[in-house]
Structure 1
Amino acid sequence: MSAKYNLRDSRTTIDFSIPPAATVTPDTATTTPGAAAEPPLPTSLPLTCSSKSVVYFTRGNRVHFKNMQSNEDIGQLFKLQDKDGNLQLLQCGGAQNSDVLAISTTKGIIQLWDVRAKKMTVSWSTKGVGAMQFNGSVLTVGGIKGTLRFYDTRIATTTPTTTSNPGTSKPALKMKSDPRKLNRHQSRITALAWNEPGKLLASGDDSGVVYCWDNREKVPLDVGEFVQRRKKIQHSASVTVVNWCPWQPKLLGTGDDNGTLRLWDIDTSDTRSNALNPGKLELGSRITGLHFSPHCKEMITVHGAKPTSPGVPDRNDSDSETASTPSLSTLSAISLSINSHMRSRGAFDTSNSIVAHSFPTLRHIHTLQAGSNVIMGSVMNANFTKAILAVPDESKLKVYDVWGKLKLRRTESFMGNIR
């Protein structure tokens, strides 16, 4: 069923809160030049949904879960230890390993959890995580310095770790990355996505660059639109979302901080530009989610606050990594005032909304305002009928009906009436 008829607020909410953000004091930044600072919160929030429709989310530094297909109570998986920093990202395994949950922290620690046993199975350290995505049993990690690494979660090496008792040690499982390491990005990786066959990877970064990779190659594919005689996928602001279409495996969607949505046909055999036409929408508000429907030729974009508002730093600024970030309450206040101004002029406004679009025409289908507070992220349930939106200012996850499966009515054959 189209979002035109099904998009609505389900009135279901879940208590939710984000962990404390990593902060860098001015003294540290000026007195220790060159020192590695803790990364800011990534584009994605600690929110994920498994192929079994189990949503994993945070309440501070505790990870909780809720089965969206049953009436079971919310459960707690674990509480992160203080020594590991603050929770940063959650990522479920795919259909083949749906009981595996990967988490990353502000100290660059990655842990794998067996959600059935409620037990951590592997832990290792990195230089900082910007985005994570599973491809089968392989966890792809995009770093804050632009490096892509690949970890086969079926393989772990055992190394001795000393305990507090001298002369004793206990084994600890640690992960070793694949020798293949991709270094083309020059800034923090903010978004990752594998297509359905698991052969193509899309990665976006803070500078607005998106690269597409063949799983067997070490250099990015020559795709995009022509920029100075070279093909390139380039946004004017930080990339916030990348996602592949489930019914067209080489169709890629990308979105950014300024609210620009682009669609691309990732086909290296085509010497022309890979940018689709129509394939670009200026939606005006930060894109925090992009989801394609497996039921019909539609997609939705989920939006947060408007960019370039008073008090909101411009992500095109070369010093955006060190710019001060306004609080969520400030963003909400700004967004609310802009919404009132836009409505008074009768203009189309997408901030803090779910917007449905048709494909391939990109025709606007329906817009649902999800409130006045900033939407910071979203995930879909397993059958793509519901969207779960994160609204930290309200300390809530809000659930919306989006698409419905087409129900065929059974009608009695006219032959049955013949006696």
Structure 2
Amino acid sequence: MKIYDIAVVGAGPAGCMAAIRGAQLGQKVILLEKNDKIGRKLLLTGSGRCNLTNTASLDTFLEKFGRRGSFYRSVFSEFSNHDLMNFFKKHHLELKEEENGRIFPVTEKAESVVNVLKDVLAEYKVKIVYNYRMKHLHKMSNIFKLSSTENEMITAHNVILATGGVTYGFTGSTGDGYAACELLGHHITELKPGCVPLRVREKWVHQLKGVTLEDVGLRIGYGGKRISLPDGNLLLTHFGISGPVIIDMSQMIVDTMDKHGDLKLYIDFKPDINQEALGAQLMEDFQNNSKKTLKNYLKYHLPNSTIEPVLKTVSLDPHKKLNQITKKDRLILQEILKAIPITITGHLPMDKAMLTCGGVSKKEINPQTMESKLVNGLYFAGEMISGCAPSGGYNLQQAFSTGFSAGSSAAGNSFSP
């Protein structure tokens, strides 16, 4: 039976890069993919546009991965965002920078990225086996044996697991690698959704599904504390809220909910003006536009479709003229324009999240090599490693960097029988 130097399980960005790097270093590499094509989940990233990486500094990258972000210092240094951009440029994929340092292919198609990976895998003669569903992985006498659900046996000196998390299960990310890791003695940390929309209680939010509140301020509240989120667009949905800020901050919000239960989210429709200045503006406007109805006046402050539902939350009549509004009601209006509260009660299921936060414990992985500290010759790459970052290209960079490092390290660990 043929023994490969390296068997890579999973042909997402991490697995493809691991296979490419191993083959570049002269190893006999086999890439095992559950689907009938590579990069199926990659095709969905960035709404199909593929936010490859970010121009941020190394320190910012580490910060984005939270308390244990320093785990990635070595791999991000070994294969940086600039190295990744150069890799794709070298293979004739032009890139462009967008807001907040996000890097996309000029084509705006994730398929362009997948095609480069396909071409480079072919260039280095990586053998790809499609429709391979790993059932068992074990090690005997320094040789790994992998068997599929169809009893197809593969043997290799080194194995790189890059099977992804448990989100977007229809793409093949069903957590197969976690079970194999546990059987080999590894600990899997709690799996939580990352980059996930949130559920809220208030029915007026559900009724406004599809409405985007642009450039609003957002604060989370619990137990007398308030945490400011970045300003941005808030998308109202039939179940709650989504949009870039919510998706980016959802990991922190989910973690906070685990500790404190339901949370308040305060929406500030006028983030560029403080309470005092807004109060003065309302007083002046009410005097100068006394014959206008409250609804007509608020068109300058709120999206039209939100006016009546928002006023209803505090029992203000939208058809009252401004000269009929009492001081007390004007102060109530001022308050809801600056901090209307909604209640976050949960999040969508794991399979609706973009990422899995949680996975193989970093404590059991060598941060320089991505090799298991428990099983020599076993490596990890990509989303199956515990932890995740907000959107912005950071998670894809993690996949490519850990894949590169695992491929390099496995090549250095190989030997001929």
TM-score of the superposed pair, with normalisation by structure 2: 0.23
Which has the bigger relative contact order, CA under 8 A and spacing at least 6?
A: 2
More helix by share: 2
- Give the structure with higher Rg (CA): 2
More strand by share: 1
